[in-house]
């Protein structure tokens, strides 16, 4: 039963990436055809925004409640593939032609995702609030949180004091890393709240506990910080560099934080060894590395050229 619920979570995560890519393509189209239209009349943008909110609030809550973060995090890279498919076919946007390197990048992302999901943890832990806060005091997670927050907060301080240049490779990497840290911590908090809601449906109601509000507060602080620093990363770098860099760092940080906080690494490793299948650990790691290599290759690929075909306008 637990494995089937994880499978439902994985399928919802894949569908969520499809919706997310669709919303991004719609927003891009809206920026072209509704640029001069008052905001309250931008129907296309509003439709895209509704899809975005439904994906990030409703679907993500269900995904976090059903599937382990070490599998959910790699699936987020699938959004890149869906966007590229949409652009290559002129869906909602002007069609662009991708070269062999971009095709290889997308293939690596898909292959790495299949390996990571096939070999990774297939059991989703559902700790109670006391268990969550006990896990948060584990030395491995404390080391990650302390190091990550030190990096993130030191960047915010350096940014606030104005001692960073307007644009530099170091600033871009530092900013993307800070955004990824806040993003991974916000996902941890959202998953914690989703787990509490799931337990409430199963008869263990902890919604009124102080810990639930602490998790909500953590999400309310970390999520805006993530979005703000993510946007800054895109502003101070080229899109084909900043976006894949942030995506790769966020996936890595979420896998590490989820694996440590929810003990997904420990439970999965023990089960793999008990079943005599240590190759699953190797397969998962190779899958994640392959997926990240695909994201990096997206950043290194030449800018696609536009395909002008008057007989084939962007598909609506």
Nearest-10 crossing angle of helices 2-33, 78-88: 40
If we measure between CA atoms, which residue out of 28, 20, 35, 33 comes closest to residue 90? Answer: 28
| pLDDT recorded at residue 288 | 94
| pLDDT recorded at residue 240 | 62
| pLDDT recorded at residue 139 | 92
> What is the full per-residue pLDDT of the chain (316 aa) written as tens digits?
455 888 899 999 999 999 989 988 888 888 778 878 887 788 888 898 899 889 988 899 899 989 999 899 999 999 889 988 988 888 888 888 878 888 899 999 999 999 998 888 887 888 888 888 888 888 989 999 999 999 999 999 998 888 888 778 888 889 999 999 999 999 999 999 998 888 888 888 887 888 889 999 999 999 999 988 988 887 887 666 777 788 889 999 999 998 888 888 877 777 777 777 778 888 999 999 999 999 988 877 666 655 545 444 445 5
Q: Which residues pair with 305 in a beta bridge?
A: 97
The reported pTM is 0.83
Burial class (CB in 10 A: 0-12, 13-18, 19+), 186: buried
Contact 99, 302 (CB under 8 A): yes
d(CA 222, CA 185): 7
Task: Compute φ and ψ for 305, nearest 5 degrees.
Answer: -95, 150
Domain boundaries, given as residue ranges, for the chain: 1-125+279-295+305-316, 127-262
| pLDDT recorded at residue 300 | 74
| pLDDT recorded at residue 184 | 94
């Amino acid at each position: 039963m637990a494995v089937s619920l994880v499978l439902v979570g994985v399928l919802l995560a894949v569908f969520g990436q499809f919706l997310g890519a669709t919303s991004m393509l719609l927003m891009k189209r809206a920026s072209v055809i509704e640029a001069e239209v008052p905001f309250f009349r931008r129907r296309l943008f509003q439709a895209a925004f509704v899809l975005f909110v439904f994906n990030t609030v409703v679907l993500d809550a269900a995904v976090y409640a059903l599937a382990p973060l070490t599998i959910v995090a790699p699936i987020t890279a699938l959004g890149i593939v869906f966007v590229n498919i949409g652009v290559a076919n002129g869906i909602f946007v002007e069609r662009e032609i991708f070269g062999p390197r971009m095709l290889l990048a997308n293939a690596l992302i898909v292959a790495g995702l299949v390996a990571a999901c096939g070999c990774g943890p297939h059991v989703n832990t559902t700790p109670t609030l006391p268990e969550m806060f006990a896990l948060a005091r584990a030395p491995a997670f404390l080391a990650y949180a302390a190091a990550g927050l030190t990096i993130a907060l030191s960047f915010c301080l350096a940014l606030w004091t104005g001692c960073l240049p307007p644009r530099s490779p170091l600033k871009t990497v530092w900013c993307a890393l800070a955004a990824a840290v806040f993003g991974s911590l916000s996902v941890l908090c959202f998953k914690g709240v989703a787990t509490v809601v799931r337990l409430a449906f199963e008869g263990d109601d902890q919604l009124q506990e102080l810990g639930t509000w602490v998790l909500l507060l953590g999400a309310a602080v970390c999520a805006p910080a993530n979005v703000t620093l993510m946007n800054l990363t895109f502003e101070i770098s080229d899109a084909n560099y900043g976006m894949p860099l942030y995506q790769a760092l966020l996936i890595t940080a979420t896998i590490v934080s989820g694996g440590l906080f929810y003990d997904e690494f420990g439970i999965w490793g023990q089960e793999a060894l008990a079943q005599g299948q240590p190759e699953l650990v190797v397969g998962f790691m190779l899958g994640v590395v392959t997926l990240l290599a695909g994201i990096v290759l997206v950043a290194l690929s030449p800018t696609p050229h536009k395909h002008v075909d008057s007989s084939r306008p962007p598909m609506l």
